[in-house]
DNA sequence: TTTCTTACA
DNA sequence: TGTAAGGA
């Protein structure tokens, strides 16, 4: 990082009252090198996973990959799974299930008001 | 700086 | 499968 890069913040809310930044799941998108460092994985590997369909980072108009906190967490999961000997097929299934679970949690907490894992880990 | 392709282990 | 390097 020769320069503190600010990964093109597409749209931001007008902050006038010194509000703290809240890391949304899909809010801030990092460049590949940033995501690679955050996940502790070389950019080339991140690209390889994406080519296998294990990761699907958002792309900007120019075609640059933009990794969100979601993608970072996912990349860590992929790293562990692949390290355990899980093939891309298995990793993809696991990621799919985890993604579905996460989605169900959000829907449940939104409907009932109490968190899905309220009091449960 | 990032992307893609190709090659190697 | 993951990593390296080249060239745009």
Each residue's pLDDT tens digit, A94-111: 988 888 888 888 777 766
Q: How far apart are CA A112 and CA A102, in angstroms?
A: 16
Asked if residue A45 keeps its beta carbon closer than 7 A to nucleic acid strand B, the reply is: no
- The whole-number Å distance from A78's CA to C1's C1' is 13
- The whole-number Å distance from A23's CA to B6's C1' is 38
Cα A26 → chain centroid: 7
Q: What is the pLDDT of residues A58-79, one digit of tens each?
A: 999 888 999 998 899 889 989 9
Asked if residue A95 keeps its beta carbon closer than 7 A to nucleic acid strand B, the reply is: no
When comparing pLDDT for A13 and A111, which is higher?
A111
Judged by average pLDDT, the poorest of A14-28, A34-48, A92-106 is: A14-28
First-to-last alpha carbon distance for chain A, in angstroms, is 38
What residue is closest to C2 (Cα–C1')? A45
In chain A the domains, ranked by start, together with CATH numbers, are 21-104 (1.10.1660.10)
Q: Which nucleotides of C are covered by protein (CB under 7 A)?
A: 1-5
pTM for the model stands at 0.75
């Amino acid at each position: 990082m020769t320069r503190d890069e600010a990964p093109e913040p597409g749209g931001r809310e007008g902050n006038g009252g010194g509000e703290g930044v809240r890391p949304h799941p899909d809010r801030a998108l990092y460049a590949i090198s940033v995501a690679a460092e955050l996940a502790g994985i070389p950019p080339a590997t991140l690209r390889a996973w994406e080519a296998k369909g294990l990761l699907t980072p958002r792309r900007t108009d120019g075609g640059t990959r933009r990794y969100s906190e979601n993608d970072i967490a996912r990349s860590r999961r992929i790293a562990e799974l692949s390290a355990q000997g899980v093939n891309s097929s298995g990793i993809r299934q696991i990621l799919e299930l985890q993604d579905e679970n996460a989605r169900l949690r959000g829907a449940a907490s939104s409907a009932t008001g109490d968190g899905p894992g309220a009091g449960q880990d």
